[in-house]
Structure 1
């Protein structure tokens, strides 16, 4: 008697809940099986459903005799079947995804299927790194190689990732923040980890890095970890440490950043080592020129003559920053960071400098911090970088003589206050906006400057703002208003502007200041210079004439533009922020480092794979037959004594998941030619059962199984080696000996919980090894007749 949980295999036709389905995968557990089904009936075509047997009644449909169809219909069904083939190392999910078929976007997924376990997606901004990461995820999911995936992003990009995966790939991720985690805990039995209760979890890096959250996330067995905007994962940072801990336990790791190299070799080397377990990272770094994307870009450097009050403020601020850099800064890196901060804020706006220096005066004099903020509530995922400076940095001494420094600061605050009402950059921006009469995005590094812009421009323009202090809901409202035409200006800080897709609404970006990290400029213009932009993009970058912005930063920007033209893309491994600061504030000139480009991996097979997937997508509009079809000759007596039989071969992996689907055609010479249609139909049925045909198919199946085994060897070995290293590392974290307390069992209970968590992780890792371990002897695919037709004379 057939078991209520099976046996079901991928490709089987079944009925469930009154409809007909095809089995996509069958995962068996003790006493039950999780069956994933794809609808094939008139009412459920294109629907995917997951049922649990025996709680749902699932019955296998026994194929009947081949259906008679016209020759044109049979050939059309045969073409659809051929197009639906799924090669072992080919792309399976792109045909159904709502993405353009671009060869370079398929390359990372193909590399993973060929054995890459760690990937850095470092393409230029706007070239679809989210799509590439989504393809890696869906390909591993389709093969049963990944059960759970964790996607870590800046807080403002969580909903963007969720929408992309839902709309493009028909995935259903869960977005976790502190509040939703608490809600999930409330609805789960005690001891169940909410992070392990969903197949795809999206969370902010700043949530996961919290020690109390990270401890729980580490207990969930994630097979794939994706970290977006990975350039934030820097040495010594909580973000980098958290992602390293999680990535080092996952069989696959994907990092994404358009600006992975800030000029700091040590930071880049740290990034490329994240999650390493003896395996090399595969880097994909393509430029817009290389992939033929975009309508072109023009960069305009506009030198602004500061007002008299601004000139006095800027000269005094530069002198103060240089004094710190060349004095205390020579022995204290914190003082150097302070000098950089003050010089950058002065270049941004008088408002930003005034607020910062006023607060610094309070801190140096021992008074209460005027910007002391209420501690973040536990459900807030605040983003850092554009708000107030940490008191530890801003309150540090810049001079050895504190009284002298306070006098300098008081004079600077007075100069900044006077300059606030004569903001030359803001006046120029107002004139530009009136002149161009089209939507624009204005970027600044600081929230204080954003406030000044809103105050100056708010009277005559519809404005929305984005900064790190906004909740996800308010960010969504601001973006929606701008993209739907309810606002003409979007003023954003760098922290809040990452990952935005604004190219359908806008082509103009205005930079209030030149960041000292040149990578930020590319991040900014990349919000509008993306795939799908149909107009030439303009980037207007403002700088104060006669200041370090003109003498140092503008020169650097021109050199960067020339280097990008010479290298056909943005230079990597060039100048970092401290290199720029040394040239701007110190006596050092530019370092002798030459601009260079990161080497990119290349997957040659991607071009052919795009063509195959395009045929698959085109064939997807043709409904595949649920049973074999055959066509009979129009003139039986005149037909050739030859038949073409098309067979479907499906190879199933060790965990019951499809490993490969292909079609094989057999040309059969008949010993005699049937003379009637009935004879032809009987002869086709006899051929399908003919021992010689079956022997050829058996031989073909063995050969095909050996081919698949060879194709998957690199993937199998790479996963086995990485997982074994991870398992060994996990076992070394188990406590060896405990000294139990007579009255307090917390240490003992903690050790038991840790052992249980390690056991769950180890079981998930063993399952990954099982998923790639070939059966011995290899499973031979069972041939199923798809179509048959005689050849015409």
Structure 2
């Protein structure tokens, strides 16, 4: 049969009224009951119905319930907070579970102003690149421009992406990894890929990059793709080449939207940077930065902000990030520990000196030396493990482990490397010496306990990062003896990624009270990426020095990032001035990187050519050990330090140039903030949600209970019908909520999309429309009272306005937008709308009115309603549609060929409430 119903039309089917929603099938209706929520949507085939689907009207019933002023105001708040198809300039705002920061909207606005969004988002670690990409995805989905998408990321980030999409954006995605793909494909028809079957996927790059899977994915890939850690897809080794082949093939489709994310876009490798830019547009690979037109074109696709730009610049985002306090904690070695380190270094240098003249043999000896010295500097346990174990065919695999670059294709390798040196009596003597140290006091551990004690007394929750499993287990055991009252857990590579997540999640005490259930986590670098720790921890201790500034930043970035509830994050770097190993790393790597960070505001990775780094480290160890410079020259290490200085200087200069070229200055806060400000009054801000919940809970006799930084909502005291709905959302007992962002650990922010707010709001609206639901609550749809807010008789109407939005893009889409509106009329003129009308409604009633007089006023207002709907209210609704169309056009103003939106109001609006306000008699 022919279908004539469009989104927003009212129909009657199966004995009740429904709102028509957008539907993908031409012969299928998607319907939401007028008195229900988005969770109650049904799909209906009119040709199969016993009774025909007919147009319907939404009229005030003759027996509409009576509401007093407080309940009428509560209904208005509930209607606004219950709507999910927002009518503001940002369609996605009604679906977000958080309030985005103004700077996080910049990439979204950039994407909306491009005909085909292709962006490289290169913001600093911890600013919120995942949030920025998710905002773009959610907005384009809600505009009907994206039906399917894939997020491509390293395997250790897959679950984090799945969680973020669900928790922050209300998007359910399927994880596609080597471990899940077979199960997902089971039972699918032969001609259907899992990407056809599952339109929302988060895909492991390492799983999909293989040639046989790459081709299948390329054929089924959605036209919207997010690539996280994009810099890991453009290097020279085989894994990166496979990823680049995959992404460059996807980028060849000029209609495919791609959002690339990286905190290190340049890394000093011009060729890799050019390949990265080519994924945005093939012409960008030429990197003609001297051409102003090139830079202007690139600026439309490239956004790069440092945290310092946001905290100290025009954005004034200091409260979005914690203050970071960094300290160094030097400790002395005991004579026994110093003697052991010197003995190991003497042994290693003797082996290096006998390595022969072949470059490969000498380089392997250098790496073996550095690997063993890393273990020695970490702990006697790690040193003993390395000395006892024989390394089999490690060869070149040692180098990335030494320089903390072993986590790119997989988790960081935290197992102690076995020694590559031949077994001999000298080596056995070192094993015996290490065994003796296990029974002696450990000066490094003692320094850790001294550093932690005052922090723990202040309520800190530290993460202690170690390099090796043996060290982490040893530190965990010793700290449990030192601080028996604390919850102390070790997370290392012996656990699977899921087990690591579970261990961290179990440490949340859930109370939001730092004095109860303090936490101390000991972790290896398997946790430096993939799991955000800012909700549970506020202090980072580098028990073992990182040998790569990027890994150092990644450790701190797990804690020091957007969403950290503590105003202060501390980081402590432990080292011994007596240690030749620590001294070399500090001199050659970490302090040079610190100087560059202070000059440029960002952390830069090690220069890619590792030979000079190795040479410089060995030469520095020798000098700190007291060896003569001639020995370093004899071993061919003399030029290492000079070469390192040159490379660091080049990296710093390149980074300064990059920041100058690509700093995102085109958009100012005053360009962005007004757009989001239009959303708040339409949908309700977090403050509005809090006020609504306070009023609603009080109506049920269970007011919110303040408890320090949180409030408790005792949902067990609510009426049975509402309590059952909340239980379906796993909300029972006492729900802990926070007013401010970020929320304390284990506590959720109270926003309009929190399950308690949305379920309560939907229930109150339903109670006003269906007298049989929550009958004792008194949420009526009509009322009359005297108020000091007006000087003349005023009719206040609570409206639900529906708009039909037509998106004119590659495929035209007809969408539904809804808004709750208040309009105050005197005679036949609208004299207040929006927040002005809301103030009239929220002003407490002055006196009671006799029922007979109240009913007479209501009856007169009802009689005038048809004329109002045909005249001033019809004009008001049309004006709102025009304003909404202008909002959408303004966001897309810079993209002449991008999709545009036309808006048409559905007339008449739904009159949810009609309230008569009379001047109070003085």
TM surpasses 0.5: yes
Q: Which whole-Å CA distance do the structure 1 matches of 2:798 and 2:477 have between them?
A: 77
User: Within 5 A, what are the aligned runs for 1:18-97?
Assistant: 21-28=18-25, 32-33=27-28, 35=30, 40-41=34-35, 44-45=36-37, 47=39, 49=41, 51=43, 53=45, 59=53, 62-65=56-59, 90-97=89-96
1:133: which partner in 2?
Answer: 133
Deviations, residues 726-780 of structure 1 (Å, cap 9, x unaligned): xxxxxxxxxxxxxxxxxxxxxxxxxxxxxxxxxxxxxxxxxxxxxx477xxx775
1:492: which partner in 2?
Answer: 523
1:476: which partner in 2?
Answer: 501
2:565: which partner in 1?
Answer: 533
Q: Which whole-Å CA distance do the structure 2 matches of 1:244 and 1:666 have between them?
A: 62
Q: Is the 8 A contact 2:548 2:589 kept in 1?
A: no
Q: CA deviation at 1:458?
A: 6.9
Q: Which whole-Å CA distance do the structure 1 matches of 2:425 and 2:47 have between them?
A: 76
1:251: which partner in 2?
Answer: 256
2:725: which partner in 1?
Answer: none
Q: Which whole-Å CA distance do the structure 1 matches of 2:465 and 2:156 have between them?
A: 16
Deviations, residues 200-246 of structure 1 (Å, cap 9, x unaligned): 21233332234444343333232322233444334135256336625
Tell me: CA distance 1:599–1:318, structure 2 relative to 1, closer, same or farther (3 Å). farther
Tell me: CA distance 1:315–1:706, structure 2 relative to 1, closer, same or farther (3 Å). same
Q: Is the 8 A contact 2:7 2:814 kept in 1?
A: yes
Q: CA deviation at 1:451?
A: 5.2
Tell me: CA distance 1:20–1:426, structure 2 relative to 1, closer, same or farther (3 Å). farther
Please, which moves more after superposition, 780-789 or 230-239? 780-789
Q: Which whole-Å CA distance do the structure 1 matches of 2:882 and 2:345 have between them?
A: 78
Residue 326 of structure 2 is aligned with which of 293, 299, 306?
299
Deviations, residues 80-108 of structure 1 (Å, cap 9, x unaligned): 88997988883223344221342123332
Deviations, residues 667-725 of structure 1 (Å, cap 9, x unaligned): 99969xxx9988876665346446x998998899789768856754655736xxxxxxx
Residue 305 of structure 2 is aligned with which of 262, 285, 296?
285
Q: Which whole-Å CA distance do the structure 2 matches of 1:441 and 1:45 have between them?
A: 43
Classify the secondary structure of the residue corresponding to 1:501. coil
Q: CA deviation at 1:408?
A: 10
- Structure 2: gaps of 5 or more residues: 285-297, 399-407, 510-515, 619-639, 693-760, 771-780, 830-855
User: Within 5 A, what are the aligned runs for 1:189-208?
Assistant: 189-208=189-208
Tell me: CA distance 1:75–1:133, structure 2 relative to 1, closer, same or farther (3 Å). same
Please, which moves more after superposition, 655-664 or 89-98? 655-664
Tell me: CA distance 1:701–1:168, structure 2 relative to 1, closer, same or farther (3 Å). closer
1:114: which partner in 2?
Answer: 113
1:725: which partner in 2?
Answer: none
2:813: which partner in 1?
Answer: 656
Q: Is the 8 A contact 2:356 2:362 kept in 1?
A: no
Classify the secondary structure of the residue corresponding to 2:150. strand
Tell me: CA distance 1:486–1:525, structure 2 relative to 1, closer, same or farther (3 Å). same
Deviations, residues 64-91 of structure 1 (Å, cap 9, x unaligned): 4467999979999889889979888832
1:466: which partner in 2?
Answer: 491
Q: Which whole-Å CA distance do the structure 2 matches of 1:362 and 1:268 have between them?
A: 36
2:575: which partner in 1?
Answer: 543
Classify the secondary structure of the residue corresponding to 1:385. coil
1:418: which partner in 2?
Answer: 433
- Structure 1: gaps of 5 or more residues: 371-380, 396-405, 719-771
Tell me: CA distance 1:496–1:693, structure 2 relative to 1, closer, same or farther (3 Å). closer
Q: Which whole-Å CA distance do the structure 2 matches of 1:524 and 1:315 have between them?
A: 32
Q: Is the 8 A contact 1:511 1:540 kept in 2?
A: yes
Q: CA deviation at 1:474?
A: 1.8
Tell me: CA distance 1:332–1:667, structure 2 relative to 1, closer, same or farther (3 Å). farther
Tell me: CA distance 1:455–1:270, structure 2 relative to 1, closer, same or farther (3 Å). farther
User: Within 5 A, what are the aligned runs for 1:128-207?
Assistant: 128-207=128-207
Q: Is the 8 A contact 1:651 1:659 kept in 2?
A: yes
Q: Is the 8 A contact 1:258 1:523 kept in 2?
A: no
Q: Is the 8 A contact 2:532 2:559 kept in 1?
A: yes
1:429: which partner in 2?
Answer: 448
Q: Which whole-Å CA distance do the structure 2 matches of 1:33 and 1:278 have between them?
A: 45
Q: CA deviation at 1:145?
A: 1.2
Q: Which whole-Å CA distance do the structure 2 matches of 1:294 and 1:181 have between them?
A: 38
Deviations, residues 127-158 of structure 1 (Å, cap 9, x unaligned): 43333332222111111111112223443443
Tell me: CA distance 1:236–1:551, structure 2 relative to 1, closer, same or farther (3 Å). closer
How large is the RMSD of aligned CA atoms in angstroms?
A: 5.4
Tell me: CA distance 1:17–1:509, structure 2 relative to 1, closer, same or farther (3 Å). farther
- Does residue 717 of structure 1 match 2:716? no
Classify the secondary structure of the residue corresponding to 2:303. strand
Q: Is the 8 A contact 1:26 1:657 kept in 2?
A: no
Please, which moves more after superposition, 241-250 or 641-650? 641-650
2:706: which partner in 1?
Answer: none
Q: Is the 8 A contact 1:651 1:658 kept in 2?
A: yes
- Does residue 441 of structure 1 match 2:463? yes
2:602: which partner in 1?
Answer: 570
**TM-score normalised by structure 1 residue count:** 0.70
Residue 617 of structure 2 is aligned with which of 584, 598, 611?
584
